[in-house]
Amino acid sequence: MRQIDHVIAGGTAAASRFGDVYDPNAGTVQAKVALGDAAVLEAAVAAALKVQPGWAATNPQRRARVMFAFKALVEREIDSLARMLSAEHGKVVADARGDIQRGLEVIEYACGIPHALKGEYTQGAGPGIDVYSMRVPLGIGAGITPFNFPAMIPMWMFGVAVACGNAFILKPSERDPSVPVRLAELMREAGAPEGILQVVHGDAEMVNAILDHPAIAAVSFVGSSDIAHHVYRRGVAAGKRVQAMGGAKNHGIVMPDADLDQVVHDLAGAAFGSAGERCMALPVVVPVGEKTALALREKMIPAMRKLRIGVSSDPEADYGPVVNAAHKARVEGWIAKGVEEGAELVVDGRGFTLQGHEGGYFIGPSLFDHVTPAMESYKEEIFGPVLQIVRADGFEDALRLASDHQYGNGVAIFTRNGHAAREFAARVNVGMVGINVPIPVPVAYHTFGGWKRSAFGDTNQHGPEGVKFWTKVKTVTARWPDGSPDGGNAFVIPTMG
Ligand code: NAD
């Protein structure tokens, strides 16, 4: 059986624990991934410590050239990377390409790192005094990433961290680790010194070793909220800089004046694409007014019946299987819970099997109506192909639903009314807002981050916020005296008064 190993400068000793990597289309184990421990991490940290000072001292244009070369290599391999990703994750190949492409856009941003790292300068801040600041890399950064974007999210992190002059240790999801390994190999081929980007695999044991390691200055995490909170607390207690993005339950508000055909088209992709395993999926739709609710439901049902569920390599498929058997059972458990709580299950996706692939982790699309804010199945993230209709009486009601939910990653409003959209964007208590855009993932040169239980810490991913996260500021106040005596009182704090 294929074995997936850590990528550590100088290699590692044989692993004692392994995890199963499934083929979600077939429901079988396709590879074993080494699960590392503190000793494996120690080897990675030692290698990173050796090489990082030289990398930080390399001028930023040269570091940027490595990012340019990496981008070209990933583009060269994008088809095979997308197939590799799709085969472990279960998302369809075209969507896997999108996963890689959105990551590459952060690499494109990182190609401009010399500009992003330029500091500030004040000539003559006082008599003969100049002040300047510089952005300095932190040293060693680590990234802990989820299964659902095994290319994009690692690139959000290491793209910026490495370009800024840090060494980076990536702990990808143990469920689909092959693409992260290949990305690290390609970074090496692009000219990153060995040890600048390393990959350690593992589960909670490795994550906790990272959080406790004194030489790791900063940790970026993306995953579910309880684990994000744990990572945040433990990392901060160890004195690290931590950003920890968590789960989501994004709402799509449909105003009575929205173009319903467009909304249904957008919702089908945003709720069921990637089998709903996206933190920016739209699993909750909030029609405003009874008439909107009825019309939306009428149009949604046939659109769902048309969805094609297939193996992830099927170019005609809209979505593929979920990632593993445990996740399939969890999603189906939430559907059962919704029924038990009294929501109306309009379309039931349970029990779906794909002919010839009976062992695969496929789930048909499900639609609930009359979901209420008191239901557990509304409060929690389902992370599967399940759309819930929560009816709202008016705009304020809809705004309150999205604002009061424990998660605040993304939200969308569908309307033709500019004033309503503007009000909504200004007032909603959510980090990323779409106006007639169902999945408002910001472009790479802006930044990504939710609010409330969707993110712990205070800086977003990538873009200028990423540069801020992966660097610290040093400010220099310089005086070049001309030799004439300075009669000021040295015992009073200097002021510019
Ligand atoms: P997860 O929380 O199970 O795993 C994320 C990472 O944490 C993995 O690397 C995993 O190995 C590690 N981990 C798992 N259990 C751990 C434990 N007990 N202690 C320490 N570390 C542990 O998440 P997932 O299932 O891989 O990904 C899906 C989740 O990620 C969803 O909740 C989704 O909303 C969220 N997500 C959020 C964003 C965002 O930007 N907010 C983006 C993508 C995914």
pLDDT digits (tens, 9 = 90+) for 441-478: 999 999 999 999 999 999 999 999 999 999 999 999 99
- Helix boundaries (H) for 140-224: 152-163, 178-189, 204-212
Determine the atom of ligand 1 nearest the C-alpha atom of 224.
32
Q: Is residue 158 a contact partner of residue 170, using CB atoms and an 8 Å limit?
A: yes
**319 confidence band (pLDDT: 50, 70, 90):** very high
CATH code at 2-246+454-476:
3.40.605.10
Q: Whose CA is nearest to atom 28 of ligand 1?
A: 223
User: Which residue has the CA at smallest separation from atom 34 of ligand 1?
Assistant: 247
Residues 383-421 have pLDDT tens digits of 999 999 999 999 999 999 999 999 999 999 999 999 999
Structural domain boundaries in the chain: 2-246+454-476, 251-435
227 Cα: distance to centroid of ligand 1 (angstroms): 7
What's the pLDDT score for residue 303?
98
Q: What pLDDT does residue 490 have? A: 79
Distance, CA of 429 to CA of 403 (rounded, Å)? 5
Instruction: Output the pLDDT for position 290.
Output: 97
Angstrom distance (rounded) from CA 442 to CA 54: 33
What is the per-residue pLDDT for 6? 97
**Active-site option among 279, 285, 304, 421:** 279
Q: Which atom of ligand 1 is nearest to the CA of 175?
A: 26
- Segment 73-81 shows an average pLDDT of 98
Rounded to the nearest integer, the mean pLDDT of the chain is 97
Whole-angstrom distance, CA of residue 252 vs CA of residue 296: 12
Question: Which ligand 1 atom sits closest to the C-alpha of 145?
Answer: 9
Q: How far apart are CA 169 and CA 486, in angstroms?
A: 50
Of 360, 412, 30, nearest to 255 by C-alpha is 412
Q: State the distance from the centre of ligand 1 to the C-alpha of 415, rounded, in angstroms.
A: 33
| Position 74, amino acid | V
**Prediction pTM value:** 0.97
Q: What is the mean pLDDT of residues 300-317?
A: 98
CA distances from 275 to 70, 327, 329, 364, 412 (A): 30, 11, 14, 9, 19
Average pLDDT over residues 68-76: 98
Find the radius of gyration of the CA atoms of the chain: 25
- Ligand 1 centroid vs 454 CA: distance in angstroms? 11
Mean predicted confidence (pLDDT) in 101-123:
97
Annotation marks residue 279 as catalytic: yes
- pLDDT at position 81: 98
Task: Give the residue whose CA is nearest to atom 39 of ligand 1.
Answer: 245
Domain 251-435: CATH superfamily, name plus number: Aldehyde Dehydrogenase; Chain A, domain 2 (3.40.309.10)
Pocket test for ligand 1, best of 20, 227, 382, 383 (most atoms within 8 A of CB): 227
Q: If you write DSSP's letter for every residue of 319-377 in order, what string do you get? A: B---S-HHHHHHHHHHHHHHHHTT-EEEE--TT---TT-TTS-----EEEES--TT-HH
Position 485 confidence tier, pLDDT thresholds 50, 70, 90: confident
**Does the interface ipTM go beyond 0.90?**
yes
Task: Give per-residue pLDDT as tens, 189-247.
Answer: 999 999 999 999 999 999 999 999 999 999 999 999 999 999 999 999 999 999 999 99
In Å, what is the CA distance from 43 to each residue of 37, 47, 199, 417?
Answer: 10, 6, 11, 58
Q: Give residue 6's identity as a one-letter amino acid code.
A: H
